[in-house]
Amino acid sequence: MTDLRKTLEEGAMSRFQWVAVAICVMLVMLDGFDVLVMAFTASSVAGEWKLNGAQLGLLFSAGLFGMAAGSLFVAPLADRVGRQPVIVLCLVVIAVGMLLSAMAQSHVQLVGLRGLTGVGIGGMLASVGIITAEYSSLKWRSTCVALQATGYPIGATLGGLAAAWLLQHYGWRSVFTFGGLATAVMIPVVLWRLPESVDFLIARRPKGALEKLNRIVALMERPLLAQLPERAAGGAAAQGNAVAGLFKNGLARPTLMLWGAFFLLMFSVYFSLSWTPKLLVQAGLSAQQGVTGGVLINLGGIVGGSLFGALAVRMRLAHITVGAFLVYAVFTALFGAVSGALGLAFAVAFGMGVFLFASMAGLYAFAPVTYPAAVRATGLGWAIGIGRIGAIVAPLTAGMLLDGGWQPASLYYAYALPLVAGALAVLAMGTGRNLPGHSRGSAAAAH
C-alpha cells in the first residue's frame, strides 16, 4: 500500500473517517451559532447599555471583521504547523472570547471580544473544510463537504432555539456562556479523535511524521507503512510566501475565480441573512413573522446541504454548483416580488435557503481539489476571507441603497445579479485541469 492517498480516495470509508467528518460538522455548527448569537442578544444588549443603531451595527460587524482576519492571517498557519493544532488554538480563542463576552461591562469591550471570537472562527474553518475533504473518499467527498456546510444552518437553528430559551430564563449573558462552554467541550473531542491531515504529514514531513501517519492508518484499520509515501508532484512544502503560491503552477486563474465566486456568493448571502427579517416587517408583516422568514432560510439550508450531498454522488461538482447559484439567483429576485404576501414569502425564503447553502457547499468542495497540500489551508482560508469581505460590504451597501430611496423589492432584484456573475466565475475556474499534486480522480471530482 505505497499510495496511501489513492487508497483513501478509492477505498471504502472507515468508521474513523466518518467520525472525523462528524466532528468537522459539529465544529461548523459552532460557526452557525456564533453568527446568530449577536442577532438573538442584540435587543437585550442594546436595552441594558442604551445603545444606538450605529453602536449596535458595530457589534454586528466586529465578528465579521474578525472572521475575515482569521481566514486571511490565521488559517495559513495550518500549512506550516498542521491543521489539528490550528483548530485547537482557534477553539481556545473562540471559547475564551465567548466566555469573556458574557462578562463584558461595556459595548466597547463586547466589540473587541466579538472581533476576537471571529478571528478564532475564521482561522478554524479552512482547516475543518480540508480535513473533511481529505478524509473522504472520492465517491463521498462532495457529499461530506456538503454535510459539513449543512452544519452551519443546523447550528444556527438549534443555537437560535437554545438562545431564545436562555434569554427568557437567564438573560443575554447566559447565551454567550453557553456558546463558550459548548466550544470548550469540543477541544478534548478534537484532540481525541480529529486526526492531522494525511496530505500535510506527507508534504511537510514534521518530526515524527511516520509515527503519526501510522497511528492514523491503524485507526482506519489499514496496514502500517514502512516509510513515508513519496510527495505528490507540486506537493512539497511551499517556500516563501504561501499566498504567492496560490498564483504559481497554473493556479492563478482558479484562485482568482474562486475568490470572485466566494465574494459574490457571500455578498448576496449576508444581504439575505441580515436584511430579510427587517425587510419583511417593512413590507407589512409582524416582527415575529419577520424572524420566522429568517429562520426558514436556515431550515431551507439544512435541506439544501443534504440535497447537494445526495446529488454530488451522481453529478459533476461544477454542474451542481453553477445550477445552485443560478436557482438561488431566481429565488432571490422572486422574493423581492412576493415579500408582501405571507405564504409566498415564507415558501420563497425556504427556497432561498435551500440553494444558498447548496451554493456554499459547492464552493467549499472546490478548494481541496484545486490546491496541493502545501498551500491548501492558505487557499481555502483566503477564499473564505475574501468571501467574508463580501459579507461585511453587503449589509452596508443595502443600508446605503435603502437610505438612497431604493425599495426593498428592488434590492432583491439587484442582489440576484452577483449570483449570476458567481456562476460564471465557477464555470471559468478550470479546477482540476493539470493542477499540481492532483490525481486524475481528483480532477474528475471537480468536473
Provide the residue type at 447 as one letter.
H
Query: Mean pLDDT score of the chain, rounded to an integer?
Result: 84
Cβ atoms 146, 303 nearer than 8 A: no
Q: Which three cell numbers stand for residue 186?
A: 469540543
Reported as a single tens digit per residue, the pLDDT across 245-260 is 889 888 899 999 999 9
Say how far apart CA 393 and CA 262 lie, in whole Å.
Answer: 13
CATH number at residue 424: 1.20.1250.20
Residues of the chain with pLDDT > 90, as a percent, come to 36
Reported as a single tens digit per residue, the pLDDT across 117-127 is 999 999 998 89
Say how far apart CA 227 and CA 426 lie, in whole Å.
Answer: 39
Say how far apart CA 57 and CA 401 lie, in whole Å.
Answer: 16
Neighbours of 374 (CB within 10 A): 26
Residues of the chain with pLDDT > 70, as a percent, come to 89
- Per the structure, the count of domains in the chain is 1
Residue 20: CA atoms inside 13 Å, Cβ hemisphere, count? 28
Hey, is 216 helix, strand or coil?
Answer: helix
Given this model, what pLDDT does residue 308 score? 86
Beta-carbon contacts of residue 355 (< 8 Å; ≥ 6 apart): 304, 324, 325, 327, 328, 331
Cβ atoms 143, 313 nearer than 8 A: yes
* H or E segment to which residue 241 belongs: none
- Largest Cα separation within the chain, whole Å, is 69
Beta-carbon contacts of residue 161 (< 8 Å; ≥ 6 apart): none
* H or E segment to which residue 269 belongs: helix 252-282
Provide the residue type at 167 as one letter.
L
Residue 227 pLDDT > 50: yes
Given this model, what pLDDT does residue 185 score? 96
Beta-carbon contacts of residue 237 (< 8 Å; ≥ 6 apart): 203, 204, 205, 374
Residue 224 pLDDT > 90: no
Residue 441 pLDDT > 70: no
Hey, is 171 helix, strand or coil?
Answer: coil
Given this model, what pLDDT does residue 370 score? 87
Residue 140 binned pLDDT confidence (cut-offs 50, 70, 90): confident
Residue 99 binned pLDDT confidence (cut-offs 50, 70, 90): very high
Residue 159 binned pLDDT confidence (cut-offs 50, 70, 90): confident
Length of the chain: 447
Section 327-351 average pLDDT: 88
Given this model, what pLDDT does residue 209 score? 85
Tell me which residue of 274, 276, 307, 24 sits closest to 151, measured CA to CA: 24
Q: Which three cell numbers stand for residue 26?
A: 459539529
Given this model, what pLDDT does residue 446 score? 39
Cβ atoms 360, 324 nearer than 8 A: no
Enclosing domain of residue 286:
4-446
What's the DSSP call for residue 231? P
377: Cα separation from own chain's centroid:
13
What's the DSSP call for residue 227? S
Neighbours of 392 (CB within 10 A): 18
